[in-house]
Amino acid sequence: MVRPTDALRLPGYDFVDPGLLAQALTHRSAAPLHNERLEFLGDALVNLFIAEALYKRWPRADEGTLTRARAELVRESSLAQIARTLDLGAHLVLGPGEMKSGGHRRDSILADAVEAIVGAIHLDAGFDACRAAVLPWFESAIEALPPPNKIGKDAKTRLQEWLQGRGKPLPVYRLVSESGDEHAKVFRVACTLADPVVECEGEATSRRAAEQLAADCVLQQIEP
């Protein structure tokens, strides 16, 4: 059940105007005053915040590397994961059809809500306060980025190249479980290596994404 928007507490920020937060959490299916304009503003701000953070973090990285890294951090699935960390889904205001179809769990709606909240914070407190509140939401994802020379290659590709470069058997991906309603399934996948002997699992809303998470987990164990 969707809880009242005023029950939501964002880490690092309290709204002066709670109406902005309420609008940011309101999907277009629910009311005429919805979050699409705030989403437009927040999208631009998130891209700028992340671009600046990467520019400072990697002083020698070229434009292409920075662009690919930013795309990784601001893609829909990444923003949706932030929304889940902030528990936004439970506070979204949705129309009856979206509520019935599980819209509060859908990546696209969750990602839009994150961007809308960023836009709302900017209007509520200004650019500097918005950046200070929002960048910590991305901190763990930024820390988890591969080195600049490996940006652009997904975890499965990097794992395959690591194994092939050492003449070792390729990984085996196995579906461990599949749960949830048809419109909101959750997949758990295992990635297993024979040499070295390593196994990790990943869980996501698509089998492909779960495989990537499992491969990334394996990479973290085998790479120096």
DSSP code per residue over 84-150: HHTT-GGG-B--HHHHHTTGGG-HHHHHHHHHHHHHHHHHHH-HHHHHHHHHHHHHHHHHTPPPGGG
What is the average pLDDT value for the chain, to the nearest integer?
90
How would residue 181 be classed by pLDDT, with cut points 50, 70 and 90?
Answer: confident
3-state DSSP assignment of residue 180: coil
Give dist(CA 125, CA 118) in Å, integer.
11
Say if residue 34's pLDDT is above 50. yes
Say if residue 27's pLDDT is above 70. yes
Residues of CATH 3.30.160.20 domain(s) within the chain? 155-222
What is the pLDDT averaged over residues 91-99? Answer: 91
Give dist(CA 96, CA 76) in Å, integer.
24
The pLDDT score that the predictor gives to residue 4 is: 43
Say if residue 183's pLDDT is above 80. no
Distance separating the N- and C-terminal Cα atoms of the chain: 45
Give dist(CA 71, CA 152) in Å, integer.
9
Say if residue 1's pLDDT is above 60. no
216 as an active site residue: the answer is: no
Catalytic residue among 115, 124, 211, 216: 115
Query: What amino acid occupies position 186?
Result: V
Which CATH number does 155-222 carry? Answer: 3.30.160.20
The pLDDT tens digits for 133-176 are: 999 999 988 988 888 877 777 889 889 989 999 999 999 999 99
Binding site per annotation, positions: 39, 112, 115
Dihedral Cα 223, 209, 72, 24, nearest 10 deg? -140
Say if residue 205's pLDDT is above 70. yes
Say if residue 224's pLDDT is above 70. no
Q: Regarding the domain delimited by 5-145, which CATH topology (the fold level of the hierarchy) does it fall under?
A: Ribonuclease iii, N-terminal Endonuclease Domain; Chain A (1.10.1520)
43 as an active site residue: the answer is: yes
- pTM beyond 0.85: the answer is no
Q: Find out whether 24 and 120 touch, Cβ atoms under 8 Å.
A: yes
Catalytic residue among 43, 72, 107, 211: 43
Helices and strands (H, E) in the chain, number of each type: 9, 3
Contacts of 205 (CB under 8 A, 6+ apart): 105, 107, 184, 185, 186, 187
- Backbone phi, psi, residue 59, to 5°: -65, -20
Closest CA to 219 of 151, 149, 143, 158: 158
The pLDDT score that the predictor gives to residue 110 is: 94
Binding site per annotation, positions for Mg(2+): 39, 112, 115
Residues of CATH 1.10.1520.10 domain(s) within the chain? 5-145
How would residue 3 be classed by pLDDT, with cut points 50, 70 and 90?
Answer: very low
Say if residue 6's pLDDT is above 70. no
